[in-house]
Structure 1
Amino acid sequence: MTDQNETQDANPVTTRRGVRSFVLRQGRMTEGQKKAFERNWAKYGLSRDNGMIDPREVFGRDNMLNLEIGFGMGKSLADMAEAAPEQDFIGVEVHLPGVGALLKEVEARGLENVRVYSIDANDVIDLCLPDACLDRVMVFFPDPWHKKKHHKRRLIQLEFIQRIRHKLRVGGVLHLATDWENYAEHMLEVMDASEGFANTREEGGYSPKPEERPMTKFEKRGENLGHGVWDLLFYRTN
């Protein structure tokens, strides 16, 4: 049995200081998630200790590269990777039950095009990914921090978007989605003000849900209750 502490960074969450966009609600992994983690982390896990990676070496090929920040329990990421075996996917999630759940899906489906970080996405962006290496970045349903006094904790801010921009190739797409209308308005305001990005919709505004974004159970339940979902797709222009 592998010692979990030997498979991850000494500080598994972040090296950054300041306002966090997440609350660390680790909880306990189920036995199945724990065993999937122990069996698969050495193969699919990436560490801050690896430093700046070369995706071609990580995946053994030079294909379209996707990054999902905050993949939750990982089913949607596994669905996307299974539907597009010709593409490669890196997932980032700080909550260990979600990491274990994704590794369980990866193992069960025999996916070879997925790699996982279990650290703060800011560290992945700043310390692990070379510039212009990504074709698509996805941030689906991040914590809305719906109270006005907590809006500063929202992940989608001008400074964060500019750091993402440098990791996207020119023409690469940033895809955001939320089911909180106020956060959707905030996201659109940030993206419209972000240097080096343009809306994929010539008329501006929100985009229809792309077919390649899987619908989660949570999203479907919300849709049945009449809740809205807003997608934004912007591409890097320079």
Structure 2
Amino acid sequence: MSDNTYRPIRSFVRREGRLTTGQQRALDELYSLYGIDWTAAAGPLDLDVLFNRQAPVVLDIGYGDGEALAEIASAHPERNYLGVEVYRAGTGRLLRRIEADGITNLKVLLADASELLRQGIPSASLAGLQLFFPDPWPKKRHHKRRMVQAPWLTMVADRLQPGGFLHMATDWAEYAEWMLALSETEPRLDNPHGGYAPDPGDRPGTRFERRGVRKGHDVFDLILQRYAPST
């Protein structure tokens, strides 16, 4: 199945409440500075132009309140980070954090991540992709709504540069097994750990993670790598 024919079922449902005054102000005043406007009709992004510099680009899907993304972008100034999210409240919080901390290597986009990945990210353009604690859609009849599907992994593998990473994390054991099993079917993705990663690497903790741990959930990190050609 090609990228052009793959049309995923939406993996999110908008349940957003009323924005706070600060969140609305951030969207009104800061999105033009730290956010980007993109639609599928615009075609692929020029990532070097977007960040006004050449540096490895990491795409972060579903950053939530932006806590982890802001922290990891601050810790890696040598990389550019593009965060995509559908929830305006979390985006407002992240924009305020970018302004307060003076983060210069992070841009945000309010959009459907699957559409962006399909239409807006060029082949072999990403140094990495992060998917931390996506909606697990735990009921079996809703599994089709999960972000991680075999065609999605095929598309991710295409968008990653050789040697690029895919880092997924979840606190739902059944979803972790789903991610692991599907990843084993994508021939361009290697699992250097042979299973789950022994630690979260440079992934900072998140509010969703802490909530899951309080409920007694284990946390699973799956860190894959796009095969690099042999030398």
Partner of 1:4: none
Q: What amino acid is the match of 2:118?
A: D
Cα distance, 1:223 vs structure 2: 2.9
Asked whether 1:158 is paired with 2:128, we answer: no
Cα distance, 1:216 vs structure 2: 1.4
SS in 1 for 2:108: strand
1:99-138 matches, cutoff 5 A: 99-138=91-130
Provide the rounded CA distance (Å) in 2 between the counterparts of 1:17 and 1:182: 24
Query: In the superposition, relative to structure 1, how do residues 96 and 221 fare at CA in structure 2: closer, same or farther (>3 Å)?
Result: closer
Partner of 1:167: 159
Task: Structure 1 unaligned segments of length 5 or more: list them.
Answer: 1-15
The CA RMSD measured in Å over matched residues stands at 1.6
1:6-21 matches, cutoff 5 A: 19-21=9-11
Does the 8 A contact of 2:150 with 2:182 survive in 1? yes
SS in 2 for 1:48: coil
Partner of 1:148: 140
Provide the rounded CA distance (Å) in 2 between the counterparts of 1:160 and 1:74: 23
Cα distance, 1:190 vs structure 2: 0.5
Of 207, 218, 221, the match for 1:217: 207
SS in 2 for 1:42: helix
Count of aligned pairs:
221
| 1:92-140 C-alpha deviation (Å, 9 max, x unpaired) | 1001111111111111111111111111011211221111110010001
Higher mean Cα deviation, 209-218 or 161-170? 209-218
Query: In the superposition, relative to structure 1, how do residues 213 and 67 fare at CA in structure 2: closer, same or farther (>3 Å)?
Result: same
Partner of 2:186: 194
Provide the rounded CA distance (Å) in 2 between the counterparts of 1:123 and 1:221: 29
Q: What amino acid is the match of 1:127?
A: Q
Does the 8 A contact of 2:80 with 2:106 survive in 1? yes
Higher mean Cα deviation, 91-100 or 222-231? 222-231
Asked whether 1:27 is paired with 2:17, we answer: yes
Q: What amino acid is the match of 1:206?
A: Y
Q: What amino acid is the match of 2:177?
A: E
Of 215, 219, 225, the match for 1:229: 219
Q: What amino acid is the match of 1:196?
A: R
Calculate the TM-score normalised by the size of structure 2: 0.90
Task: Structure 2 unaligned segments of length 5 or more: list them.
Answer: 1-5
Of 36, 57, 79, the match for 1:65: 57
| 1:185-232 C-alpha deviation (Å, 9 max, x unpaired) | 00000001112111021xx11002334101113323433553200000
Partner of 1:207: 197
Does the 8 A contact of 2:8 with 2:114 survive in 1? no
SS in 2 for 1:46: coil
Provide the rounded CA distance (Å) in 1 between the counterparts of 2:44 and 2:207: 35
Query: In the superposition, relative to structure 1, how do residues 44 and 51 fare at CA in structure 2: closer, same or farther (>3 Å)?
Result: farther
Partner of 1:38: 28
Provide the rounded CA distance (Å) in 1 between the counterparts of 2:84 and 2:62: 6
Higher mean Cα deviation, 109-118 or 22-31? 22-31
SS in 2 for 1:174: strand
Q: What amino acid is the match of 2:212?
A: G
